[in-house]
Structure 1
Amino acid sequence: KKHRVEDALQATRAALEEGIVPGGGVALVNAVEAIKLDSIDDADERTGAAIIVRALEEPIRQLAQNAGLEGSVVVSQVREAAKGNGLNVETGQVEDLFAAGIIDPTMVTRSALQNAASIAKNILTTEAVVAEPPEKQPAGAGAGMPDMGGMM
C-alpha cells in the first residue's frame, strides 16, 4: 500500500511539472499525425517511419486485446475519434478519457517515448544483441475432450 501512495505522489508531481495527456496510449496515437509517411521519399526511411507508427499504436492495440477486443479495430476507431478520446477498458467503448478520469502525466509518456527511441537506436547501432532463449511451453490439451488424442 505504501508503494501505491508513493507512486501516486510521483505521478502527481510529474503531472504538476509538465501537465497531463489522455491515458491509455491515446497521446502516442495522436503523435502519429506528426509522421507524414507519404512525404518520405527514401524507402528505408519510410519503412522506419512505418515501424514507429506501429509502435506508437501498440499500447492501445494491447489494451484492446487484453479487454477481449480486436486491437486494430480499436486503433482505427481511436484515430478517427475526437482528440482526447480513447478506449475505456472498463466500458469497452471509445470515449473522452479526460471526462472518464483516464489520464497520464505528460512527463511519463514523454520519458517512455524518449527511452524507447534511445534503446531502439542502441540496438540498431550495435553489432550483436545478447538475449535469453524463449522458454519452451508444454503443449496444451487439444480442443474438445482432453487426453482423447489419437482415437483413430
Structure 2
Amino acid sequence: LQERLAKLAGGVAVIRVGGATEVEVKEKKDRVDDALNATRAAVEEGIVAGGGTALLRAANALAIKGSNPDQEAGINIVRRALQAPARQIATNAGEEAAIIVGKVLENNADTFGYNTATGQFGDLIALGIVDPVKVVRSA
C-alpha cells in the first residue's frame, strides 16, 4: 500500500549536487545516495528510534535463559552484540558508554534515547533521530 501511494503521489525529482572539488562533489553525491536509500527503506518498512536505541531495547527485552552454560554464553553474546551500536555511538561522541546506556534503559519509553549532537536525552522519534526498520533488521 505504501509503495502504491508513493507511486501515485510521487514524481521525478532532480537533485543537483555541487562542490568546490571533484572529491567534494563525489562525497556529497554518496551522501545523497545514502539518504535516498534510507528514505526508500523507511517508506517500505517504517522507522524506529535511532542511535542504536531500538537494538538496545531489544537486548534488554531478551529475557530467556539457556538450559546449559553454552546456551547462556550464546545468549550473552547476542545481548552484547545488540548493545554494541549504542555503546559505540556514545563512545564516538566522547561520552561514557555505560552511563549513557544505563540512563537510556532507566527510562521505559521505547523511543527515549541519547542525542549525541546536543548531549541531551529525549524522544528520538520527535527529535528526528530515526533508523529505517529495514536497515536495523538487516544489519
- With structure 2 as the length reference, what TM-score do the two structures score? 0.74
Tell me the equivalent position of 2:90.
64
CA RMSD of aligned residues (A): 1.3
Any idea what SS the aligned residue of 2:114 has? strand
2:79 counterpart of 1:53? yes
Structure 2 segments unaligned to the other structure (5+ residues): 1-27
2:42 counterpart of 1:15? yes
Quote the Cα distance in structure 2 between the aligned partners of 1:62 and 1:3. Answer: 23
Quote the Cα distance in structure 1 between the aligned partners of 2:29 and 2:89. Answer: 27
- With structure 1 as the length reference, what TM-score do the two structures score? 0.68
**Preserved CA contact (<8 Å) 1:60 1:87:** no
1:21-40 paired onto structure 2 within 5 Å: 21-37=48-64, 39-40=65-66
Quote the offset at 1:87 in angstroms: 1.2
Per-residue displacement from partner, 1:9-44 (whole Å, max 9, x unpaired)?
A: 11111001000011100110111144214x323111
User: Rg: which structure is higher?
Assistant: 1
Q: Which runs of 4+ in 1 moved over 4 A?
A: none
Quote the Cα distance in structure 1 between the aligned partners of 2:93 and 2:30. Answer: 26
2:105 counterpart of 1:79? yes
Q: What letter matches 1:49 in structure 2?
A: I
Tell me the equivalent position of 1:108.
135
Quote the offset at 1:66 in angstroms: 1.6
**Preserved CA contact (<8 Å) 2:115 2:121:** yes
Any idea what SS the aligned residue of 2:122 has? strand
Structure 1 segments unaligned to the other structure (5+ residues): 113-152
| % same residue | 52
**Preserved CA contact (<8 Å) 1:85 1:97:** yes
